Amino acid sequence: MELDGLLSPLNEGQRAAVQETEGYVRVAAGAGSGKTKVLTGRYVYIAKVLGVAPEHILSVTFTNKAAWEMRKRIRAYMPDVEGGWILTFHSACHKILKQEIAALAYPSNFMVLDEEDQKTILQRIYAENGLTLRNFPFKKCLDAIEIYKSESDYVPYLTDPKRETPAPDLPFAGDKKSMHFVILQYLENQRKNFFLDFADLIQFVLYLFESRPALLAKWANHFEYIQIDEFQDVSGEQYKLARLLAGAHKNLFIVGDPDQTIYSWRGADVRYFNEFCNRFAGAKTIVLDKNYRSTPEILAACNALIARNRDRLEKSLVAVRPSGAKPRYRHARSRTEESDAIAEEISRLHAAGTAYADIAVLYRGNYMSRAVEEALVRKKIPYTIFSGIAFYQRREIKDALAYLRLCVFGDDLSFQRAVNVPPRGIGKTRLAAIDALAGERECSRMDALRALTAHPLFRNTKAAELIAAVDEGKEFLKAHDLADALDFILQRSGYSEYMMLCGNQDRLDNLNELKASVRDFVDSAGEEVNAEDYLNGISLIANADAEDKKECVKLMTVHTAKGLEFKNVFVCCLNEGLFPSRKIKSKEEMEEERRVAYVALTRAEDRLYLSDAEGFDAHVDGALLTSRFLFDIDRSLLEIDGTFSEGHLARSKSYIQKSKLHMGCMPAHANIQIFRAGERVRHPIFGVGTVQALEAGAYTVLFGGGKTRSIAVSADILIPYYEKHGNK
């Protein structure tokens, strides 16, 4: 049975992928090739044509936003579908653990920590042991905990009900000045409170499956079909989980683009995608190379850039759209000039009818936004900065969620955050009394406060008001909508009034947005959810979507932009040491950096602008040089604006050549061809000429008057000559 409107809009490759339901299948889907359409169509095909119950189909995405978008599309074909397993890896593991974690002596209502919760735990550890940020910055400590968990068999230690198993691989844990001690204390806090952090979710499921084969068999048999998006970004743990779950039915369908692998720093390993057919016997490969996003001119530049990578699955995107403008490369003589040019072009686009919301400025690192921001302010162009999890990290949002969590979990972390916001007169002495009683009775700090409310020490405090607010909030949650309950709790606790008295409209707007997010969460779930589901859902959002201000230019890092598309894209700061980053030290790292650049360029639909600048920059500790990624794209594919200072391009090319040699990107005595036959160049003495050939380390160049000269590559004195714009 073929569903009307399901297969007919698909091209041949997409249709083949949708109907390839059995066995191990790898889909190499280039940027803008419609992979979401394929994943959605295949899910519906399996459910409606094959008749498989959605509960037995696992569809894994890498972001909550992508999961919500897929659910929305599926409901267009299957309005009655409820629940299902359209989730991220971590959300899927959370859902499994909710059902099975009792086998590890953990309660089913365990709490998932976010980064702020982790920092709160560290604060207590530091305070109790006389440690400060000078000993270990929180970021360094959290990184160490994550690395430890990725390399150690620690889960048995957390789940051992006898609490006697020594923590593995922590030989210096007795030394309070060691990182091992802090890690051990963090683990102890987790054990005591049955906390799980983000890294634990997959590790706990893997341990559960490996230590209890019956549970693995149960879930492997449960998921008859598994499909995974963005497979080029899976980590070793995620790959292992996918392999285990697919072991019973052997139906694993993966989609990805190895040219967009840009997360190796967080464990992604593109080899799992590239070697898929070697790891799974009989695996099939389908290539989706038709691009529906960008113009042929933009794709030509993108293909030229990524073709410079050697360790890749060969493919070249083919444009479906009609021709448009060439990508424009603007070379500026200063960073200010570069930013002003971007602002000027945005202003021109807007005056011609382009909406600000259809324009994005991308950069490699957040710090690069400053000059662009200043230029946009000068031109009075509205903009917004996309910064990942910023919304859920704002103080007022964390405070509000702490109140809701206190009503749901009654946990110590939420208590610590909420107890004196607004001020209730419960200072250090009273908090110490609460902690002492909680330790003596082995109860929560909230329960300890209940016991102490009548104590003379708490006579002049508002402790009773906090207790009443939490108790009434719990009862309100049982009978009312989640969004209404949140509003009630904030009102009853006095937090809403406290925010009103602060007089900060932005914070009030953020609280209203939080309430809207609760309603959106409930609506998008497609099934009944409670406060616990919402809170854990928020904790699982690794990079929450930034606020979407409708009529603003969007500024963001390339990593934030991955998965998005815009009609007009500016990629700035294309200089050596900036993009590619100065942190790149190896050939492998440089290939990933080029993939980052490729992701940036492939975000553009109609117009693409590339820019760099000259001058001194403290981030590179010297003069700015043109990025190798601009040299990777043949100049015939670009419209070039601006003039270069004398010798700038020669210095840039010389630096890049030496960098490649240092990284092992080419043999030390390689015949390095910077210019190709037919390219126009300028010599400081002989003037303008045309490259004829490269032989024995020298260019044969035809100059004016029909004279040829052999110019050694090692001389580094030839620079490009651009007839249209000149070259000073």
Residue 575's DSSP bridge partners are 626
Half-sphere exposure of 123 (CA within 13 A, CB side): 10
Report the interhelical angle of 463-479 vs 445-452 (nearest 10°): 120
CA 589, 591, 592, 596 dihedral sign is positive
230: annotated active-site residue: yes
* Candidate list 398, 445, 603, 653, residue with the active-site label: 603
Among residues 19, 21, 36, 393, the one annotated as catalytic is 36
| Rounded-to-integer distance, Cα 603 and Cα 368, Å | 19
| Angle subtended by helix axes 531-539 and 395-408, to nearest 10 | 140
Catalytic residue among 100, 114, 200, 229: 229
Residue pair 217/240 in contact by the 8 Å Cβ criterion? no
Neighbours of 312 (CB within 10 A): 17
Quickly count: other Cβ atoms within 10 Å of residue 621's Cβ.
Answer: 9
- How many CB atoms neighbour CB 345 within 10 A? 19
374 secondary structure, DSSP code: H
Break the chain down into helix, strand, coil percent, rounded to 5. 50, 15, 35
- Residue pair 674/657 in contact (Cβ under 8 Å)? The answer is yes
User: CA separation (Å) from 640 to 654, 675, 687?
Assistant: 21, 17, 21
Q: Which residue has the tokens 């809170």?
A: 535
Active site includes 260?
yes
Contacts of 4 (CB under 8 A, 6+ apart): none
Would you call 35 a catalytic residue per the annotation?
yes
Residues 599 and 593: their CA atoms lie apart, in Å, by 10
Instruction: Tell me if 646 sits within 8 A of 314, measured CB to CB.
Output: no
Residue of 114, 230, 338, 593 with catalytic role: 230
Q: Which of 61, 260, 602, 626 is catalytic?
A: 260
Residue 229 among the catalytic residues: yes
Distance CA 401, CA 26 (A): 41
Helix H or strand E segment including 346: helix 335-351
What CA–CA distance (Å, rounded) separates 61 from 84? Answer: 13
Q: List the catalytic residues.
A: 35-36, 229-230, 260, 603
